[in-house]
Amino acid sequence: QLLEQSPQFLSIQEGENLTVYCNSSSVFSSLQWYRQEPGEGPVLLIALYKAGELTSNGRLTAQFGITRKDSFLNISASIPSDVGIYFCAGQLSGANSKLTFGKGITLSVRP
């Protein structure tokens, strides 16, 4: 598996913060985080392009590792609509390189 995500399942209380991780032995030109809600396709949350880049999108914050091999996604003050599967996806350098997805982390939020 090119991209490892942990943990595979996560259940948290509404209002809690959480951090999920994405690791690889490969170097990526970009690293992206997607969320998939039940019955829908994945939706892009954050895209990272520079080593060490820290980017926020509302309550979401993600960082691209210095070595471009890893990333984390932090969700603050979780709410019920944060439920879904969180995928990291990495793209290798080179023309026509494909975006490869991790196995995803399934998040549930307890009210």
Binding site for another protein (CB under 8 A): 29-30, 32, 34, 36, 39-44, 47, 49, 85, 87, 89, 91-101, 103-104, 106
| 14 and 111 Cβ atoms separated by less than 8 Å | yes
* Alpha carbon distance 103, 111 (integer Å): 26
CB of 107 to another protein, least distance (A): 12
Q: Which amino acid appears at position 82 of this protein? A: D
Return the number of the residue (32 or 63) whose C-beta is nearest another protein: 32
Whichever of 40 and 58 has its CB closer to another protein, that residue is 40
Question: Is residue 86 within 8 Å of 20, Cβ to Cβ?
Answer: yes
